[in-house]
């Protein structure tokens, strides 16, 4: 069983799919306890206008409808943004505007803990 556990621990990170995002760092990072709705803004968003909603890649024009559908049955109308550290403030505001227009009440920004030197 120990061998199976080790094999699982080694292969599990390789099965993770999605866009590669270099999250910004923050000393005040906390873990998210609920089942959040994730929207990921990749570094290429400025050129492609495409982002990731959950596991699906969608265009900025479709994100509002997708979020409305996801939040329709939920009491918590929150969305968490994961973004590459190189994404511009204008890109963040563009996505946030689309989310707010779709009825999102709170937009949380996801970071990773700062590395201590």
Domain range annotation of the chain: 18-113
Task: Answer whether 27's CB lies under 8 Å from 4's CB.
Answer: no
CA-closest candidate to residue 45, choices 27, 63, 32: 63
Check residues 77 and 10 and name the one with the higher pLDDT: 77
Beta strands in 2-111 (DSSP E): 25-26, 38-41, 50-53, 56-59, 78-83, 106-109
Instruction: Please name the residue that has the structure tokens 């400025």.
Output: 46
Cα 8 from Cα 45, distance rounded (Å) = 33
Cα 84 from Cα 41, distance rounded (Å) = 6
Which top CATH class is 18-113?
Answer: alpha beta
Q: Residue 89's pLDDT band (boundaries 50, 70, 90)? A: very high
pLDDT, residue 16, reads 52
Q: Residue 17's pLDDT band (boundaries 50, 70, 90)? A: low
Question: Mean pLDDT score of the chain, rounded to an integer?
Answer: 81
Taking only the tens place, the pLDDT of each residue in 26-78 is 676 666 555 788 899 999 998 999 999 988 899 999 999 999 988 888 888 88
pLDDT, residue 98, reads 92
In sequence order, the 6+-apart residues with CB closer than 8 A to the CB of 7 are none
pTM of the model: 0.67
The DSSP 8-state label assigned to residue 55 in this structure reads T
């Amino acid at each position: 069983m120990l061998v199976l556990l080790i094999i699982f621990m080694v292969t599990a990170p390789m099965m993770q799919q999605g866009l590669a995002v270099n999250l910004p760092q923050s000393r005040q990072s906390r873990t998210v306890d609920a089942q959040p709705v994730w929207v990921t803004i990749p570094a290429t968003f400025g050129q492609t206008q495409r982002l990731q909603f959950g596991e699906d890649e969608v265009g900025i024009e479709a994100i509002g409808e997708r979020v409305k559908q996801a939040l329709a049955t939920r009491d918590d109308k929150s969305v968490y943004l994961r973004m590459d550290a190189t994404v511009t403030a204008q890109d963040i505001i563009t996505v946030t505007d689309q989310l707010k227009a779709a009825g999102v009440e709170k937009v949380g920004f996801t970071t990773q803990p700062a590395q201590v030197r």
